[in-house]
Structure 1
């Protein structure tokens, strides 16, 4: 199955108070760790959806990765739109594939086996979407089949992604995983400290 990844990094980092993509863990920017996690999982292309300070992010990354494999797309209305808008932009910029992973840019610690687990589940069950779960709760990154992409692009109702998943519920499968990375983001300073400690311990071990 040919997969791409959509990395959502358009937000204002308002709760964190500092710009999250540039936060460092082991000498590397958080956003780089997020990109690398997708490439390690075998995705063909990552579409990074940018907004606030997007040009700074692009300028720092454009020479680090193959430009055909890391593509930058801008959500110019990042301050007034929700995540679904960025997802639609990322999907529209994606090269042909069979499914796309969705990952917030501040979740850099997802283990490769988690990406592969949802991929394998989708292949086996022919589902429209596959989510990893921890203790029964859905986590990132979901894998979304391109069979439902037109439906996502056409959705204009209330409720955003949550409502979309509700409408597709009968064709969504879940995969229990043991991956603390699915629980860690950087919404607050405390969250970031916990994430950095976790990743530094992983890298050091």
Structure 2
């Protein structure tokens, strides 16, 4: 069930924004690059807030203070991952560990994907809330290719605590049932992994959502 603001009030879904990476493939902190006047990570945080998830928890690591400054003024909760250099899974674990009690699922966003169409996370939430799927993982897909953000049901939280390395939540896909939710959204296939990708992003329009 959702209200007019898009909030999902049947099951409690939090958002976890992964913003701890060191951007080793870029020449500067990727999350702090600007797009339409704001850092990439701020756009992604606004996207997470726009879904109506509560709380929205940001996991920082590299450049933690700069990332937090870039997100100033937004209603976010921050937790720092001291082990961020050991891989993305450590940030997922840190985010899950910091969630308040009573959360039924977490929608995990990557901080460098501000271009994800807002309807993608909202549709994942709708499927989780209204269709009550048996699967523990909901993942968007474009032309059969899996993308982000990923919704993780609370059954995974204990398993997440045992993850290691840079596999992130992907290591759980063979252990728990996965539901792919298809989208006709080419943006799901785009990543900002190089200076050339960033130049392509700069040519894209800003998201249509508002704070």
TM-score, scaled to structure 2: 0.84
- State yes or no: 1:84 paired with 2:89: yes
Q: Deviations over 1:13-56 (max 9, x none)?
A: 11111111111111111111000111111111211111111012
- SS in structure 1 at match of 2:27: coil
Give matches, 1:56-135, under 5 Å: 56-62=66-72, 64-66=73-75, 70-79=76-85, 81-95=86-100, 96-123=102-129, 124=131, 125-135=133-143
Counterpart Cα distance in 2 of 1:132 and 1:159: 18
Instruction: Give the direction of change, closer, same or farther, for the CA distance of 1:100–1:55 in structure 2 (3 Å limit).
Output: same
Kept in 2: contact 1:8–1:48 (CA 8 A): yes
Q: Which residue of 2 aligns with 1:198?
A: 204
Q: Aligned equivalents of 2:93 and 2:205: distance in 1? A: 30
**2:87/2:165 contact within 8 Å kept:** no
Residue 160 of structure 1: how far off its partner (Å):
4.9
Q: What is the rounded CA distance, in whole Å, between the counterparts of 2:13 and 2:145 in structure 1? A: 24
Number of matched residues?
Answer: 195
The correspondence for 1:176, drawn from 156, 177, 182, is 182
Helix, strand or coil: the match of 1:198? Answer: coil
**Counterpart in the other structure of 2:192:** 186
Q: Which runs of 5+ in 2 are unaligned?
A: 1-10
Match of 1:150 in 2: 158
User: SS at 2:174's partner residue?
Assistant: helix
Q: Map Cα deviations across residues 34-88 of structure 1 (whole Å, 9 max, x no partner).
A: 00111111111211111111012213423x112xxx1111111222x11111000
Q: Distance in 2 between matches of 1:160 and 1:186?
A: 18
Q: Distance in 2 between matches of 1:119 and 1:59?
A: 29
The structure with the greater share of residues assigned to helix is 1
Is 2:50 the counterpart of 1:44? Answer: no
* Structure 1: gaps of 5 or more residues: none
Is 1:18–2:34 an aligned residue pair?
Answer: no
CA RMSD after TM alignment: 1.9
